Structures are given as C-alpha cells and as structure tokens.
Amino acid sequence: MGVLGKIIVRFMPVAPKFLVKRIASRYVAGYDLESAINLMKKMSVEDTSFTIDVLGEEINGIEEARYFVEEYLRVLDSIVSNQIDANISLKPTALGLLIDKDEAISNIEQIIKKAALNDIFVRLDMEDHRVTQDTIDVVLIMQEKGYQNIGTVLQGRLFRTKKDIIDISKKLGPLSDFRICKGIYLESEDIAFTNYQDIVDSTNECIESMLEMGCYTAIASHDLPIINHSLDKLKQMNMSVENDTRKNSGSPRKGKGPGYEFQFLLGVRGNLRRKLSSEGHFTRVYVPYGTKWYEYGVRRIRENPDIAWHVTKTIIMPWTNRR
C-alpha cells in the first residue's frame, strides 16, 4: 500500500489538473459555503456531526486574513440558520500567525467570540513545527479571556506532544480539549518520529494520556491500529458511549460526545465511520471547502502516500469506500 502510494506521489507534479480535481472532489465539499451546507444536510441522516474548514493556509500579507475572518463569520451564521450540527476549524497561519501574532490573535478572537455567542466550538488546526507553540499559546490566551469554546490539535508524531498534553492539562484541567492525529506534516527526525510504527505507538500513548487526564479526546485517525487501540482503552476505562464515567473530566458540552469522539476526513473510510456510529460512538466528519481545493488535494497526497492509496482505491473500486 505504501509503495503504491509513493509511486502515485511521484507522478503528482505532472498530473493533469482535471485529474487532481476529480480526486479532490471526493475530499472537498465544493468551492463555496453553500456546497458545504448542502453536503452536510445530506450526510446528516448518517448520524454524524461535522467540522467546517475554509481551505487556505499561510498568507503573504496580513490584509489577506480579512477574507478568512469574514468567511468564518458567514460560516457561523449558516450553521445557526441551517441548524447544522457542526463546529469550525481554523488554520492560524491563514489568520496571520506567522506575520503579526497580535493581529492574528485579534482575528481569531473575533471568530471565537461570535462562535461562543452561538455555543459553537472552535478548533485551532495544528500546522508545521514553526507554529506549534504559538498555536498552543493562542488557545491558552483565549481561555484566559474566558472563551471556553476552544481547543487545539496535537500531532502524535512530534516528540514534544506528550509533554504538551501534560502542560496544557495542568493549566486548563477539564477544559482541555484536543484533536489528536498522527500529523500530516513530515517533520525532521530531530523533532518527530518518522517510522510508521513509532508514529502509531506515540499517537496511541497520547490518546491514553488524554483520556486518563480527563481531557476531551477527539481521535482523528483512519488507521485501524489506532482506532482499535482507542476502543480497547475506552473499554478498559469503562467509558460508556452514553456517559463519560471519568471523575476528572468536565461537564458534557453541546455538540460533543461523552468525553471522546472519532473523526474522519470527508471521503475517507466512510464505512468504518458508519460502523462506529451504529455502535453508539460519536463521530465527526471534517468538511473542507473553498477555492484552494487544488492545493489541498495535492498537499494531502504528497505529504501522506496512504491518502494516495485511498484515492486510487476509490477510483478503481468505488464500491469499497462510500463517502
């Protein structure tokens, strides 16, 4: 599987744009917000919730951040008016974190404030190592300002993540809320695990730590070794699909599961997500949309050959992986 994925990645630079568009269309809701809303309405019958992401990352000038602020405010209005069970996910660099940290914090706060008024959760995506600490700092700053509707993503592949879990949990207690994933950014072996099994093992250890410390734990993985390990850990801790039995966890939150949830990218392992949902587990689909679909599709495939395998399998055997 990994070898085939790497072969596909080698040919990505010369792939016709129409082919990349065909591939990306499965993993992106569309060009605009209306497309994303319509897709979520259709998928709501599958008993799942959503995270909406406006595609776009690092900007060249702070003035470009204005588009993302205004678009996310539109997203929040649409979630409310259409009664969609969704929260939102922000890329800090799209809001200026690498250009002007103070301005980026102001932009993020503007979005979080409106989200809080509507009881909508905001997740800060974790990008590459250049902004790891800054992203965590923004979460802590927002919590200090009284916004409890915010959490971040942590990447299992980074050496620092286990300590980050402990440090954040000590500061936020039961308000600690993480999405944990392996991490799509291919970091240096000086700061991250690079072997697949090491990354899986580290991610599993991070999930254990989050659950044991009472954190809300969003398990974002398509890897069976991680999902199965998580299910075993939940069973070991006697965590029910209906109730969070941990004494060190916080009160249930609107639009959240009982202390944990399973998250999937749009278009990947839909059958597994539906199976988990049918067993009573809270699930969420990551729904990206926007004009940056090409960059998103190429980056996903280049940086993670396993995604390339899922794409190829979908094209060759579409019946094996419904959205």
Residue with tokens 């699930």: 283
- Distance (Å) of CA 199 to CA 57, 156, 186, 206, 226: 25, 6, 11, 11, 10
As a whole number of angstroms, the distance between CA 223 and CA 238 comes to 23
Tokens 């979460």 map to which residue? 139
> Could you read off the pLDDT tens digit of each residue along the chain, which spans 323 residues?
455 555 555 655 555 555 556 666 678 898 899 999 999 999 999 999 999 999 988 899 999 999 999 999 999 999 999 999 999 999 999 999 999 999 999 999 999 999 999 999 999 999 999 999 999 999 999 999 999 999 999 999 999 999 999 999 999 999 999 999 999 888 999 999 999 999 999 999 999 999 999 999 999 999 999 999 999 999 999 998 888 999 999 888 889 999 999 999 998 889 999 999 999 999 999 999 998 666 666 665 565 555 555 555 555 555 554 55
Task: Determine the residue type at 89.
Answer: S
Side chain identity at residue 285, one-letter code: V
Which pair of tokens denotes residue 121?
């959760």
HSE, CB side, 13 Å, CA atoms: give it for residue 128: 10
The catalytic position among 125, 164, 177, 306 is: 125
Give the fold, CATH level 3, of 29-289.
TIM Barrel (3.20.20)
The rounded distance, in Å, linking the Cα atoms of 99 and 107 is 12
pLDDT at residue 312, as a whole number = 57
Specify whether 125 is catalytic: yes
According to DSSP, the β-strands at 122-124 and 283-289 are unpaired
Which pair of tokens denotes residue 150? 């915010």
Instruction: Verify whether residue 179 is a known catalytic residue.
Output: yes
- Report the distance separating Cα 69 and Cα 80, nearest Å: 17
Domain residue ranges of the chain, discontinuous segments joined by +: 29-289
Smallest CA-to-CA distance from 65 within 37, 92, 35 is with 92
Closest CA to 183 of 167, 211, 164: 164
Q: Which of 179, 284, 300, 323 is catalytic?
A: 179
